[in-house]
Amino acid sequence: MNEELDSQLSAMFDNELPASECELLARRLSRDEELKARWSRYAAISATIRAEGGARLNANLAVRVSEAITAEPTIDAKPVAAPVQPSRTAPRWWMPVGGVALAASVAAAAILFLRYESPVQQVAQTVPVTSATNQTLVARSVAPAVADSYTVPKTLPRRSIVPSTQLANYVVAHSEFSSPVNRRNLLSAFMASESGTAGTPSGSDEPTEDVTDDAKSPH
Amino acid sequence: MSADVSDLSLVRRVQGGDKGAFDALVRKYQHKLVKLVMRYVRNPAEAEDIAQEAFIKAYRALPQFRGDSAFYTWLYRIAINTAKNAVVSRDRSPIEYNIDRSSDAAEESYDMQGRMKDSETPEGLVLTDEIRRTVNAAIEALPEDLKTAIVLRELDGLSYEEIAAAMDCPVGTVRSRIFRAREAIDRRLREVFEGGLGRTEDLA
């Protein structure tokens, strides 16, 4: 017998033969009885050295298994290589229906989002309706809030029921120069401006942390 | 190199419908599996029956084997479960023998059982002993470098790379030494069979 072939067989027995050589030798081993007999003796030598004395070295276990396997149906299925993607097994008609359902879900989410956001915009829109004398002041105090809304995460503005001390003092100081209706409008404007500034980026690290977490999370 | 690449190439062939490749796997692991099963049953004949059952179960389950673990690790689990089930179904626990007996007496009982079964095939017993004697004598007669290489491989389970590091030689030299050691032992082993004690195919 070819010495190179026997050397390959010895390495294959030890699981030390390169994969490229294994395929060819495995094919030959499964058919060549002389090679199989040598392979069996290698196993007997191994068992003896390892003192696997419980097994009878002349046991014809392989013959018995081979006879039993002969009666078994031949495996003709492909090996399970990886989990099958569900989309491959799904009927084709699910694909357009699924697309429509996905689009509907996105649309519904968008509507809900807009409805959720609308109170903030309504508050902002009420501000310019105030009297002409207060429009400049209101515009100054409201403008930063509108500008911030592009950079600050959308949060439901908290409406402070009681204005801050500074604002209250301002209203009281100017109340004698205005009519009761204007005082009320001014107070409303300040409250609106207060709510607008409630979302200023006091904790600006928070979104940054979120992004960092997303980047860290495996996809 | 993957530690299981050779076994995996045989497994893939079986999965493609080649029953002969499974025969090669059985020949390679039969001794190991019987020894494993004998942790649960001390009778060699019974252990062989259980090992046979485990191999057949493995063959049937092989289409589901993905190669995530080594083939022998997978086979090992099947054999353990088969042995446990066999013990339970026969209402025989491995520790049951220890009741009211000293451990030495229990060991003696196991040996007696095994020998009684073996006595059914006395020629088999003689052949097994002869094989062991021949292999051990052949190993003793090996040149030191070949003996060290084969012992490090078989007894200590080192990879070729580890043996190369231990013996301070290239991996190719290790492969050659192990092969030459096996050839020398195998030559003596074939003489045993051709000398009339048995036939080579009996080893299958």
Better-scored residue on pLDDT, A102 or A181: A102
Which residues are CB-contacts of B62 (< 8 A; sequence separation ≥ 6)? A75, B11, B14, B15, B22
- The pLDDT assigned to A187 comes to 57
Residue B159: name the closest of A52, A11, A8 by CA.
A11
Residue range B162-169: mean pLDDT, rounded: 96
- Please answer whether residues B160 and B171 qualify as being in contact, where contact means their C-beta atoms are separated by less than 8 angstroms: yes
Task: Please report residues of B whose CB lies closer than 8 A to that of A31.
Answer: 20
Residue range B151-180: mean pLDDT, rounded: 95
Distance CA B190, CA B137 (A): 14
- Please answer whether residues B26 and A59 qualify as being in contact, where contact means their C-beta atoms are separated by less than 8 angstroms: no
B70: closest chain A residue by CA:
A15
Task: Please report residues of B whose CB lies closer than 8 A to that of A42.
Answer: 28, 182, 186
Residue B182: name the closest of A13, A167, A155 by CA.
A13
Q: Is residue B52 very low, low, confident or very high in pLDDT (cuts 50, 70, 90)?
A: very high
Q: What is the 3-state secondary structure (H, E, C) of A28-60?
A: HHCCCHHHHHHHHHHHHHHHHHCCCCCCCCCCC
Better-scored residue on pLDDT, B42 or B25: B25
Q: Do B14 and A22 touch (CB under 8 A)?
A: no
Asked whether residue B25 carries a pLDDT value surpassing 90, the answer given is: yes
Radius of gyration of chain A (CA): 41
Q: Which contiguous run of DSSP H or E holds residue B143?
A: none
Query: Out of A15, A29, A54, whose CB is closest to B38?
Result: A54
Q: Average the pLDDT over each of A24-38, A171-185, A195-209, B155-169 and give the range with the smallest value.
A: A195-209
Disruptive mutation site among B2, B12, B27 for chain A (greatest number of A CBs within 10 Å): B27
Q: How many CB pairs under 8 A join A and B?
A: 237
Percent of chain B, pLDDT > 90?
55
> What integer best gives the mean pLDDT of chain B?
82
Query: Out of A16, A18, A77, whose CB is closest to B63?
Result: A77
Q: Do B203 and A58 touch (CB under 8 A)?
A: yes
- Please answer whether residues B41 and B79 qualify as being in contact, where contact means their C-beta atoms are separated by less than 8 angstroms: no
How far is the alpha carbon of A1 from chain B, nearest alpha carbon, in Å?
A: 12
Model pLDDT for residues A108-145, shown as the tens digit of each residue: 777 777 766 655 454 444 444 444 444 444 444 444 44
Task: Please report residues of A whose CB lies closer than 8 A to that of B125.
Answer: 56
Task: Establish whether this prediction's ipTM goes over 0.85.
Answer: no
Q: Do A26 and B10 touch (CB under 8 A)?
A: yes
**Buried-state track B62-71, b at ≥16 Cβ within 10 A, e below 16:** beebebeeeb
Residue range A141-164: mean pLDDT, rounded: 50
Distance CA A203, CA B99 (A): 72
Task: Please report residues of B whose CB lies closer than 8 A to that of A36.
Answer: 20, 23-24, 27, 204
Q: Is residue B23 very low, low, confident or very high in pLDDT (cuts 50, 70, 90)?
A: very high
The pTM of this model reads: 0.58
- The pLDDT assigned to A8 comes to 94
Q: Do B9 and A74 touch (CB under 8 A)?
A: no
B111: closest chain A residue by CA:
A54
Which residues are CB-contacts of B178 (< 8 A; sequence separation ≥ 6)? A10, A11, A14, B146, B149, B150, B153, B160, B163
Task: Please report residues of B whose CB lies closer than 8 A to that of A4.
Answer: none
Distance CA B137, CA B192 (A): 12
- The pLDDT assigned to A131 comes to 45
Better-scored residue on pLDDT, A40 or A173: A40
Asked whether residue B32 carries a pLDDT value surpassing 80, the answer given is: yes
Residue range B53-80: mean pLDDT, rounded: 94
Better-scored residue on pLDDT, A133 or B162: B162
- The pLDDT assigned to B181 comes to 97
Disruptive mutation site among A5, A41, A60, A72 for chain B (greatest number of B CBs within 10 Å): A41
Residue range A62-79: mean pLDDT, rounded: 80
